[in-house]
Structure 1
Amino acid sequence: MFDTDRVSAVTFDSYSTLVDVESVERALADRVDEPRPVSRLWRSRSLEYTLVANHVDAYQPFYEMNRDALAYALDVHDVSVSEDERDDILATYHELDVFEDVRGSIERLHDAGYPCYVVSNGNPEMLDSMVEHAGIDDLLDGTVSADEVGRFKPDDELYRHAAERVDEPLEELVHVTALWLDVQGARHAGMQGVWLNRDDDPWEPFGPEPSLEVDSLTAFADELLG
């Protein structure tokens, strides 16, 4: 159960939470007959690579993980593109569509006195461009990248590092994310984990449940601010 009384600061995931990773389909559409399956395989493989990297000590910055995952997705779908074209597709991660409720919701939390941070697998350059593109740089107190610890979500080390950066106890942080594995990682580390379920999907049948489920960042701000 979500406890608003023990929230000192709010952390947000980035991709799929603040910005829409499915907007890469536009960049694929000029080169691929069916961009959606390529886009979804690209995203799922990228996440799988991060999970494997945590266990086989194969960390590399997320942008490079994403590059490898894109190459795989294109190969699977027998799409032949030049290296420059592949880099152009990859670069769309610097300008993904921003969900409409992002700035208004974070602004409400910021104005209410809650420090707000982004905690992401993205490397610092990716996060800098995302924050600038989303127009929320004036509302955030900082960004925390997996690159700072060389470990990806849902590894405990990243969440513990985030608490150190925020300078609040883990149990006083609430992490808001669209990714189920990120919810479970945050909860396992000791945070409250809020699942941003924009698509009305069912929750996973194993592991801890979210502290709170919402369908928008607006709904989360409503819940926290009362």
Structure 2
Amino acid sequence: MTSAPFSSDQPISPDGPRRPSLLIFDVNETLSDMSPLSARFEEIGAPEHLAKLWFAELLRDGFALTASGDIESFATLGAEALRVRLAGRPIDRPLEEAVEHVMRGFSELAVHPDVVEGVHALSDLGIRLVTLSNGSAGVAETLLQGAGVRDRFERLLTVEDAGVWKPALRAYTWALQECGVEPMDAMLVAVHPWDVDGARRAGLATAWIDRASGRYPSYFAAPDVEAASLVELADALR
């Protein structure tokens, strides 16, 4: 049974989730601003709107492999999904050069504007911070180093080591085991409702970062915290 969500201006009540001792952050779109990837598509002569479609297809195929008991790396899936999506399109360079240009964009992404202040605020609360990404730990490392907040994160975890993609339950339980924390003492922070739902079903508290003032799908387990930014999340947990 899920707890009713509460907004960032409401403190955690005795009846709600405890303040977590560990925050587990999703990386892609939760910490990283992926909007510049649209420009990468334009630069190869493809419509910029294909960026969101391609990323959705990449996630879909990762989830499908997970459901069938297999796993492939984010980079491998991303590159192949690009080949499929760009095949037959009038791009301005050879296909493999176009794929490499788009994929290289991941290593050049920056964090969202709220991330640096929010990470400092959350860390100053004495909460341990780690990441758990369906992507590589190397991409998370570059992202957080570039933002100057790498030192605030204890570990950068990847599902490549867990052997299964999120939102499979085993991805979250593996992360908890790696950090030596019980589910009730951890909170998953993500912009993706499917990630929030998966973590909730694994027994973690959850925070949905609603950057776009959207609607949370009713068919997913509700988050314990809804906030528009990591700064608001810190206010909720303070």
Pairwise TM-score range, normalised by the shorter structure: over 0.9
| Offset of residue 26 of structure 1 | 1.7
| Offset of residue 146 of structure 1 | 0.3
Give the TM-score taking structure 1 as reference length: 0.92
| Aligned ranges 1:55-74 → 2 under 5 Å | 55-74=67-86
Gaps of 5+ in 1: none
Alignment size in residue pairs: 224
Distance across 2 between alignment mates of 1:57 and 1:134: 36
| Offset of residue 76 of structure 1 | 7.2
| Offset of residue 64 of structure 1 | 0.9
| Offset of residue 132 of structure 1 | 2.0
Larger mean Cα displacement after TM superposition, 75-84 or 196-205: 75-84
2:225 alignment partner in structure 1: 212
* 1:152-171 alpha-carbon deviations (Å, 9 max, x no partner): 01001110011112211011
CA 1:30/1:110 → structure 2, altered by over 3 Å: closer, same or farther?
Answer: same
1:26 alignment partner in structure 2: 39
2:58 alignment partner in structure 1: 46
* 1:43-98 alpha-carbon deviations (Å, 9 max, x no partner): 10111011111022331111111112222222375546421232121110112131
Larger mean Cα displacement after TM superposition, 129-138 or 62-71: 129-138
Report the residue type matching 1:123 in the other structure: S
CA 1:35/1:157 → structure 2, altered by over 3 Å: closer, same or farther?
Answer: same
| Offset of residue 201 of structure 1 | 1.1
1:35 alignment partner in structure 2: 48
Identity, in percent, stands at 23
Per the alignment, in what secondary structure is the counterpart of residue 60 of structure 1? coil
Report the residue type matching 1:84 in the other structure: E
2:213 alignment partner in structure 1: 200
Report the residue type matching 2:30 in the other structure: T
**Displaced runs of 4 or more, over 6 A:** none
CA 1:33/1:42 → structure 2, altered by over 3 Å: closer, same or farther?
Answer: closer
CA 1:157/1:80 → structure 2, altered by over 3 Å: closer, same or farther?
Answer: farther
CA 1:104/1:57 → structure 2, altered by over 3 Å: closer, same or farther?
Answer: same
Distance across 2 between alignment mates of 1:16 and 1:54: 21
Which one has a larger percent helix, Structure 1 or Structure 2? 1
Distance across 2 between alignment mates of 1:162 and 1:191: 11
Report the residue type matching 2:200 in the other structure: R
Distance across 2 between alignment mates of 1:42 and 1:162: 28
Residues 1:147 and 2:160 are matched in the alignment: yes
Gaps of 5+ in 2: 4-11
Distance across 2 between alignment mates of 1:84 and 1:6: 47
Aligned residue among 115, 127, 143 for 1:130: 143
Question: Highest relative contact order (Cα 8 Å, sep 6+), 1 or 2?
Answer: 2
Mapped contact 1:144–1:162 kept (Cα < 8 A): yes
Residues 1:107 and 2:120 are matched in the alignment: yes
| Offset of residue 104 of structure 1 | 1.1
Per the alignment, in what secondary structure is the counterpart of residue 59 of structure 1? coil
Distance across 2 between alignment mates of 1:131 and 1:97: 8
* 1:20-53 alpha-carbon deviations (Å, 9 max, x no partner): 12220121222235212x1011110111011111
Distance across 2 between alignment mates of 1:108 and 1:129: 21
Report the residue type matching 2:83 in the other structure: A
Give the TM-score taking structure 2 as reference length: 0.88
Report the residue type matching 2:224 in the other structure: S
